[in-house]
Amino acid sequence: MNTSIEVEYWVVDTDGELTEPGALAEVSERTEREFVEPLFELKTPPCETIGELRATFAEQLEEVLSTAAAEEKRLVPLGTPINCGAIDRRPSERGRIQKEVLGEDFAYAKYCAGTHIHVEKRNVADQLNTLIALDAALALVNSSPYLDGERVANSARAHCYRKKCYGDLPKHGQLWHYVDTVGEWCRRLEDRYEEFKRAALEEGIDEVAIEDNFSTDNVVWTPIRLRDEMPTVEWRSPDAALPSQLLRLADDLEMVMERVHNTNVEVESVSDSRHAGHVTDDGIRLPTFETACEFANSAIDDGLESADVVGYLDRMGFSVDDYHPISTRIDGRQYVTRGDARDLRLEYANRLEEDVDELVETVGV
């Protein structure tokens, strides 16, 4: 099953201060700047096996880090910068329209760095439902509990997107209910596009500008998306994290999604979070949507500190004991000063570089 990873990393200078990517965005056609100045994005091509994905990801990162060293820049694998000054959004018509429609709360998105995992489209309705049910797996790679120095949640990034950015248009940033058909999902996208368009028109945005910058394919942030141009089902919930952590997550996710293609997927009729959800050789049983949302909320708030989340992910086929999220390692303070945040960014820039060195050695790039 073809799988790929897109990851955003913060770029810092040798003092740990956020800076723009510069030459890092020009390393290849798969590296680019993000919508805010200090973010950099790397995209792998679709890979037929996790082994191929691991080798490709390691090779790409090694090349980027070589350029970064020459530029005296570092990459930081944290879901937020922890604490920093104001972050500027790169000028764009799309961003301007989003800010007009979503208001000041859209600014929270400027402090978020995440990971998107793409899996090849097959049994699409079952894939959508399974990814919705598996959203709590974001807890496996939570990487920052802090925003503006304050302790917010085990995943401050996911908290911001779901509880801050889309307050006036909640269906644009939340998990969607399970579907019976792909057509049902597409109709929801059409409804969200029309909803956004109406809100933009009410703010005085020109209709041509709306249509030029938004479509049903890109109007929502929702944690699960269908991408026609790849074509893939995309899971957008995880934080940015160390490359080895993301590869482990992609591996576990791919194994579950492979089973979706070869077995029956059913939704439980009764809510019982203590025993909800199972992935076995006989089939995949998803929890009720309400229970899946409870698990996802606990994953955001408490991460792997939640025994219910750990038990659920174990039943769903994830090797939970193999994960050691960064959030758990750096949590414990109610406030992190800007100086301490710079130190943490540099510490995890070091860890990312060590992580890539180990990956390169393992795959023999």
Size (the chain), residues: 365
Q: How large is the average pLDDT for residues 39-50?
A: 96
pLDDT of residue 338: 97
pLDDT of residue 117: 98
Quick one: pLDDT band at residue 79, thresholds 50, 70, 90? very high
pLDDT of residue 296: 97
Which pLDDT tens digit goes with each residue over 90-146? 888 998 999 899 888 888 999 999 999 999 999 999 999 999 999 999 999 999 999
**Distance, C-alpha 161 to centroid of its chain:** 11
Of 167-181, 264-278, 293-307, highest mean pLDDT: 293-307
Q: How large is the average pLDDT for residues 298-311?
A: 97
pLDDT of residue 291: 95
Which pLDDT tens digit goes with each residue over 153-203? 999 999 999 988 887 788 898 999 999 999 999 999 999 999 999 999 999
pLDDT of residue 365: 59
Mean pLDDT check: name the lowest of 1-10, 228-237, 270-279: 270-279
Instruction: Give the residue extent of every domain in the chain.
Output: 3-139+147-363
Which pLDDT tens digit goes with each residue over 11-43? 999 999 999 999 999 999 999 999 899 999 999
Q: 3-139+147-363 in CATH: which number? A: 3.30.590
Among residues 317, 329, 328, the alpha carbon closest in space to that of 136 is found at 317
Quick one: pLDDT band at residue 80, thresholds 50, 70, 90? very high
SS3 string, the chain, reads CCEEEEEEEEEEECCCCECCCHHHHHCCCCEEECCECCEEEEECCCECCHHHHHHHHHHHHHHHHHHHHHCCEEEECCCCCCCCCCCCECCCHHHHHHHHHHHHHHHHHHHCCEEEEEEECCCHHHHHHHHHHHHHHHHHHCCECEECCEECCCEHHHHHHHHHHCCCCHHHCCCCCCCCCHHHHHHHHHHHHHHHHHHHHHCCCCHHHHHHHCCCCCCCCCCEEEECCCCEEEECCCECCCHHHHHHHHHHHHHHHHHHHHCCEEECCCCCCCCCCEEECCEEEECCHHHHHHHHHHHHHHHHHCHHHHHHHHHCCCCHHHCCCHHHHHCCCCECCHHHHHHHHHHHHHHHHHHHHHHHHHHCC
Q: How large is the average pLDDT for residues 305-326?
A: 96
Which pLDDT tens digit goes with each residue over 212-258? 999 998 899 899 999 877 789 999 999 999 999 999 999 999 999 99
Q: Is the pLDDT of residue 363 over 90?
A: no
